[in-house]
Amino acid sequence: MRPENYKPVQHSASHEYELYFGPNHPGIEGNYALKCVLSGDVVQSLRADGGYLHRGFEKIMEERLWIQNVALVPRICVPDPVPMEETYARAVEMLGGLEIPKRAQWIRALMLEASRVCAHLFYFGGHAATMGMYSNMFWGVTDRDLILDIFEEITGARIYHMYITPGGVRRDLPEGVLDRLSKVLDYVESRLPEFDNLFFDNAVVINRATGVGTLTTEQALSWGVTGPNLRACGLPFDVRRDDPYLIYDELDFDIPTETAGDAWARTLVRREELLQSIRILRQIIATLPKVGGPIRCALPNPLAWNVPAGSVYARTESSKGELGFFVVSKGGAKPWRVHVRGPSSMHAVHVLERLGPGSRLEDVAQIMFSLDACPPEVDR
Amino acid sequence: MSKGSFLRPLKALAYLGRPAVTLPMEPRPAAPNYRGFHVNDWEACIGCGTCAQICDNEAIDMVDIPELKADPLAGIKPRRPAIDYGRCCWCALCVDICPTGSISLSREYVHVGPDLNTYYILPDEKGIHGLNYPKGWSKSPDADLLDLKRQTMGEMEPQERLQSFAEMVAGFTPEAALMEASRCIQCGMCHDACPSHMHAPEYIRALWSGDAEEAVRQIYRTNPFSEVCGRVCTRRCEDACSLGNRGEPIAIRWLKRFAMDSLNHEQVRRIAAEGRELAPSGRKVAIVGAGPAGLTCAYDLARQGHAVTVFEALPHAGGMMRYGIPEYRLPYDRLDDDVDVIASLGVEIRYKTRVGHDISMERLRDQFDAVMIAIGLHKGRSTRVPGTNNENVIAAIDLLRDVTLGVAVDVPKKAVVIGGGNVAMDAARTLARLQTRAYGAVQVELVALEPADAMLADADEVREAKEEGVVIVNSRGPRCCIINGERLTGLETVRCLSIFDNQGRFHPLYDHEDAQVHEGDVVVEAIGQMSDFSLLGDKLTEKLDWNGPRPRIDQDGRTSEPWLWAAGDMVEGPDVIHAVAAGHRAAASIHNEIMVREKTP
Amino acid sequence: MNRELESLDAVFREMPDLKVEHTGPRRTRIQVEADALPTLLELLKGRAGYLHLSAISCVDWPDTEEFELVYHLWSYQVSNLISAHTRIPYDPGRYVSVYDLHAPAVYFERDIHEMFGVWFEGCPDQEPFILTEWQGPPPMRKSFDTVAYVNDTFEWREYQPEWANDPSGGKG
């Protein structure tokens, strides 16, 4: 709500009070608000309030050429933009019946996993910060920067790469970048014991996060939870494994799970996933030099590219869960409809509103962050 | 599950002893591929505006730069892109689509300033602050967004071609036409380069969207000879096409042909009649010569409601399009279609009526509100080297006319053609066909003054002529025809060292030591044509202002006589599309003139 | 595995009017009449293990004055995605909520209500979420013209850069 539109409400005397948590709050990821009704410091009810980052992407995408949307999609999710590029591109490829060259597929998988590592490093820092522990956040962001350097080398941009396009990728890898990525991965891996000392083996953190925001397996399934949050409830579902895309069925990786379903389990799952992503990246680094060929299939002139009519639903496992793009073409030069199923839209609204009641005020931020809710992607 | 430790986090205190992470104040060097501020090489940039078209944020405006030279024939517009960094998102699609590769992103990425106007830049090769930062993201063949390869089109094999005068190219299939049309970036260079300013971007886009009817409508806005120009146009448009900078230009000519082939004749007639003035103006215009200039003029004037009569000396309309262009390049029934569309607007064509013989120019002047002459260049020039007065030394244009008219031609077993232009190719290839029919073998030698890399004819024509067995001998000038008794037996040539003097005037230099004999029963001269102005009569010839061999005309095509206009090859040199353009100009001028004038009684 | 696949066939046998099409690996498209869709979803969930409602998408088709609703359902057991397509007319633009079957539907139905103006009977929450202060028509409808709205609402910035005085900068 815009400040000028805020009208104080006179409530009748009660033991309950209403508290706006956000939209400008250090414990909130992005601009997002939670309207909490509290009694003491126990949340009675919670309403998610989005829209502060609404840019109308789905609408704008209908106004733009197929290729132009490449510049738009990564902006849907700031911390993990690559899956957005990948899923949009793949949806267009499915519509157009395009066969992407092998090399492009491997490069795209590399980008996706590197982005997952970034997002998880960000996540640990963020999760710790919601408990008031900022060192972890500085560490995570600093280490993530090393991967951003690699992104910059490959794509010419650090955050919004606009690199994956329908048909492949836009540039081949620069000389020696795989070696440098390999060194960064070694470094990130070597940092994990230090993260463990500070965070994962920290008794205070474990105490603060255990039992917070607990999801049962049944709740997780019926509330539409996906991704690491679902795996933290003991369900080993992963789009990369169940609905494989690119070259994921040629990769060797585990799907880590935890059973507790609470904030701590969600963080532990991600710690394991970070290692799995490093494992995948090492396989890609070993394989990519052997995969030659073009990095993009032949495409028509993007100014006059009619994508065949039809509709597809493309899915990707992002760091936050299941990402879906439902793309409809009427056979024209622009998409007729693009519906983005943001991975955290379900977590940040539906799940959070149900997990919140009964928790304590100081845990609200932690619950939100442990679900890895990403407001820009909820708002789109 | 681990309960964790209270002490292990304290290990992080070791960081107090480590140096802090600090970064230098100056900007960190960006990656070699970085997408920073734009740079644009003004020399390479052609101002096509494709960057502005692809820009997903409308961050690019094309700014007119009056000081730059416009060169429509070379496909250069005097404008350059300006970038609004309030909108740019550095996606670099502008770089990946740029037809010339002039625009790149640099490795410079810091700009700070309170004045928002400084965020709107007109990039040159030095960058936003003139600091000459190295290029970052620039054109890569890996992922060029443009489709630089032309669609292929079926054509007959040389042996098959030689058997007849059937049209040798097949025309695009619908799929190929769609793909070819989709390559167009809509920059409009073709429109500017075309003498008649045809709406090529519009009709190509219409074809791309599957609307051939709309394409033909766009074509007819500026050209009633679209069947013809879809086949034999000199296509300045393709020379100017932006895609030609790094790849193959759009096959605009073949797309036009495809559009015309897609509709039946009735549909074309209906489209041509759309928007015509139905009420007669009461004005009458006479046009001498039913070639492209004359009939285009007739078409425009008829559409404006004027009564137009065209006088044509020969039995069919078309002028040089029919009597100069061989049928394997332009099937005459397609020309007939174009003429029929024009006639269907009420244009009267009087065939076999030779002005100056059957009716005088003075009569036309008295009976009509205006007169336009467009008589073309139907008289062949001669090299006038010794022996050219032999009866077996003929003009290419006469040969081509006779073949079209169906006059029996004595087919020489061996022939020599003098000339390196398209008419020479037409003559040589026509002879090749006649020889194949009569003797089953081609023996045509073509001697051209120009070296092989500077032939005047289209490269396609030269290639196809060679494929058909025509032997092309370059850098040779004729010295004399060899006459044995009365009989012509060949041509003697000498080596041509240079064609132009240092002032650019035609002044060939020969090495007379280097002589060569080309055997032939016939020598065909194809070194240029001129007009036969005898129709004007002595009095009018005397009265008119002349510009060398041609009547002087103003920019609207009007001669020094207020009632007389002239257009086409006779005043501008040989080219169909120029003639069409001149026809439009003359028509506009005539219309303006006669509408303000009193009707001729 | 086979048992579940058979059960999907059993669902199709039970609903003979469906148009079923396998559009790619692990993708099935079903065209279903609007009044039959809830039954289909129930059968898919109850008999064939399609537990996960991945998304509900809405598409505006102004030519026929219809909204197309697409229910994307994933089966964790057989790893297959069913996209069930159905169409409802603009007028009255109402449909039934599938919230009682799939709780996540509330999020998507609320979104579609907000962006397209479709009313879902039985949906527990159709409060504005993103456009809390928006007075205009549902903006995702094709009839809402973004460019016109922008031009009506915002000013285009006029720049007066220095180079405009001498754009050629001596290069002419």
- Residue A153 touches chain B, beta carbons under 8 Å: yes
Is the pLDDT confidence value at C172 over 50? Answer: no
- Residue A168 touches chain B, beta carbons under 8 Å: yes
Distance CA B371, CA A23 (A): 81
Is the pLDDT confidence value at B76 over 60? Answer: yes
For residues C136 and C144, the answer to whether their CB atoms sit within 8 Å is yes
Give the other-Cβ count within 10 Å of C118's Cβ.
22
Distance CA B349, CA B372 (A): 14
Give the mutation candidate from B42, B79, B117, B129 for the C interface (greatest C CB count, under 10 A). B117
Neighbors of chain C by Cβ distance (3+ pairs < 8 Å): A, B
Assign 3-class secondary structure to chain C: CHHHHHHHHHHHHHCCCCEEEEEECCEEEEECCHHHHHHHHHHHHHHHCCCEEEEEEEEEECCCCEEEEEEEEEECCCCEEEEEEEEEECCCCEEECCCCCCCCHHHHHHHHHHHHCCEEECCCCCCCCCCCCCCCCCCCCCCCCHHHHHHHHCCCCCCCCHHHHCCCCCCC
CB contact under 8 A, A152 and B11: no
* B29 phi, psi to nearest 5 deg: -60, 135
Chain B hits for C161, CB-CB cut-off 8 Å, are 82, 117-118, 120-122
Option in C58, C81, C130 nearest A313 (CB) = C81
Residue of B nearest to A172 (CA): B142
What pLDDT sits at residue A1?
67
Neighbors of chain B by Cβ distance (3+ pairs < 8 Å): A, C
CB contact under 8 A, B121 and C161: yes
Show which of residues 137-166 on chain C sit within 8 Å of chain B, judged by CB atoms.
Answer: 157, 159-164
Give B180 to chain A, closest Cα distance, Å.
Answer: 10
CB contact under 8 A, C60 and A59: no
For residues B166 and B472, the answer to whether their CB atoms sit within 8 Å is no
In terms of C-beta density within 10 A (0-12 exposed, 13-18 middle, 19 or more buried), how is residue B542 classed? exposed
Give C166 to chain A, closest Cα distance, Å.
Answer: 32
Provide the phi-psi class of B276: left if phi over 0, else alpha when psi is between -120 and 50, else beta. beta
Is the pLDDT confidence value at B601 over 60? Answer: no
CB contact under 8 A, A196 and B8: yes
Walk along chain A (380 residues) and give the pLDDT tens digit of each residue: 677 777 777 778 888 888 888 777 666 666 788 888 888 888 888 888 888 888 889 999 999 999 999 998 998 888 888 999 999 999 999 998 888 999 999 999 999 999 999 999 988 888 888 888 888 888 888 899 899 999 999 999 988 999 999 989 999 999 899 999 999 999 999 988 888 888 888 888 888 889 888 999 998 988 889 999 999 998 899 889 888 998 998 999 999 998 988 999 999 999 999 999 999 999 999 999 998 888 888 888 888 888 889 999 999 999 989 999 999 999 888 999 999 998 888 888 888 888 888 888 888 888 888 888 888 888 88
What is the count of residue pairs from B and C with beta carbons less than 8 Å apart? Answer: 41
**Is the fold of B38-143 the same as that of B275-378+531-596?**
no
Percent of chain B with pLDDT over 90: 34
In terms of C-beta density within 10 A (0-12 exposed, 13-18 middle, 19 or more buried), how is residue C39 classed? middle
Give DSSP secondary structure letters for A47-59: EEE--TT---HHH
Chain A hits for B8, CB-CB cut-off 8 Å, are 196-198, 201-202
CB contact under 8 A, B54 and A154: no
Distance CA A24, CA A9 (A): 20
CA atoms within 13 A on the CB side of B539: 4
Give DSSP secondary structure letters for A1-41: --GGG-----PPS-SEEEEEE-SS-TTSSSS-EEEEEEETT
CA atoms within 13 A on the CB side of C124: 10
Q: Three-state SS for B489?
A: strand
**H or E element in which residue A74 lies:** none
Q: Three-state SS for B315?
A: coil
The sign of the dihedral angle between the CA atoms of B248, B254, B255, B258 is: negative
Give the mutation candidate from A303, A306, A330 for the B interface (greatest B CB count, under 10 A). A303
Q: What is the pLDDT of residues C3-61, one digit of tens each?
A: 455 577 777 777 777 888 888 888 889 888 888 888 888 888 887 888 899 999 999 99
Between the CA of residue A254 and those of A237, A238, B371, what are the distances in Å? 11, 10, 89
What pLDDT sits at residue C2?
46
Residue of A nearest to B141 (CA): A171
Question: Predicted ipTM?
Answer: 0.89
Option in B2, B54, B105 nearest A302 (CB) = B54
Q: What is the pLDDT of residues B527-541, one digit of tens each?
A: 888 888 888 888 888
Token look-up 């060797």 returns A252
What pLDDT sits at residue A131?
85
What pLDDT sits at residue A9?
72
For residues A345 and A322, the answer to whether their CB atoms sit within 8 Å is no
What pLDDT sits at residue B34?
93
Give A330 to chain C, closest Cα distance, Å.
Answer: 10
Stretch among A28-42, B156-170, B337-351, C31-45 having the lowest mean pLDDT: A28-42
Looking at the domain B275-378+531-596, which fold is it? FAD/NAD(P)-binding domain (3.50.50)
Chain A hits for C54, CB-CB cut-off 8 Å, are 224, 313, 315, 322, 324, 341
Q: B254: closest CA among B326, B319, B329, B314?
A: B329
The domains found in chain A, sorted by start residue, are: 3-49 (no CATH), 57-379 (1.10.645.10)
What pLDDT sits at residue C1?
42
Chain A hits for C60, CB-CB cut-off 8 Å, are 337
CB contact under 8 A, C59 and A336: yes
Distance CA B41, CA B28 (A): 25
Distance CA B374, CA B291 (A): 7
* Strand residue runs (E) in B420-486: 444-447, 471-473, 476-484
In terms of C-beta density within 10 A (0-12 exposed, 13-18 middle, 19 or more buried), how is residue B14 classed? exposed
Between the CA of residue B218 and those of B197, B337, B453, B512, what are the distances in Å? 11, 18, 37, 55
CATH code, B158-272: 1.10.1060.10
What pLDDT sits at residue B432?
93
Q: Does domain B38-143 correspond to CATH entry 3.30.70.3270? A: yes
Is the pLDDT confidence value at C169 over 70? Answer: no
CB contact under 8 A, A295 and B12: no
* A344 phi, psi to nearest 5 deg: -100, 5
Give DSSP secondary structure letters for B350-391: ETT--BTTTB-HHHHHHHSSEEEE-----EE-----TTTTST
Extents of the domains making up chain B: 38-143, 158-272, 275-378+531-596, 379-529
CB contact under 8 A, B6 and A260: no
Q: What is the pLDDT of residues B371-381, one digit of tens each?
A: 999 988 888 88
Option in C161, C167, C168 nearest B120 (CB) = C161
* Strand residue runs (E) in B93-237: 103-105, 120-121
Looking at the domain B379-529, which fold is it? FAD/NAD(P)-binding domain (3.50.50)
The domains found in chain C, sorted by start residue, are: 2-165 (3.30.460.80)
Taking residues B547-574, what's their average pLDDT?
86
Taking residues C143-167, what's their average pLDDT?
87
